[in-house]
Structure 1
Amino acid sequence: MAKDQRFEKVYSQGMLETTEIWVDKKTGVNYIFHTSGNAAGFTPLLDSEGKPVVSSVWDK
């Protein structure tokens, strides 16, 4: 994998149906990715107030 990838997977659960959390390393915004069969979705992860969850931005 390339060192300059913008997104980093920080959480993964499941095998046939998977749920993952990805962090944009430039903005810190967290995204949730869910797959089930042929369907998949990728959307910002929101807190209880409807605002995007933001992590500290880091360079690895």
Structure 2
Amino acid sequence: MSKKDRFEVIYQETGLKSEKTILVDKETGINYLFIANGFAGGLTPLLDENGKPVITK
């Protein structure tokens, strides 16, 4: 698997200046939330109610 194919976008919501994207790492199954707003952005793993990463099988 090439690095280009490692992440899959499963949800994307765009606004005028903002973007919310949920990505899944195909190797680990961990879901990540990426938010971009203007020139700023951030990436974090999605966590369940117990504080553990959300994993897609």
Query: TM-score range with shorter-chain normalisation?
Result: 0.7 to 0.9
Tell me whether 8-17 or 20-29 shows the greater mean CA deviation: 8-17
RMSD: 1.2
Runs of 4+ in 1 over 4 A off after TM superposition: none
Q: Percent identity?
A: 46
Structure 2: stretches of 5+ with no match in the other structure:
none
Distance 1:29 1:55 in 2: 6
**Counterpart of 1:23 in structure 2: which amino acid?**
V
**Counterpart of 1:54 in structure 2: which amino acid?**
I
What is the aligned partner in structure 2 of residue 45 from structure 1? 46
The structural deviation recorded for 1:49 is 1.0
TM-score (norm 2): 0.86
**Counterpart of 1:7 in structure 2: which amino acid?**
F
The structural deviation recorded for 1:43 is 0.9
Higher share of residues assigned strand:
2
Q: What is the DSSP-based 3-state SS (H/G/I as helix, E as strand, rest coil) of the residue aligned with 1:9? A: strand
Q: Map of 1:21-32 to 2, 5 A cutoff?
A: 21-32=22-33
The structural deviation recorded for 1:48 is 1.1
TM-score (norm 1): 0.82
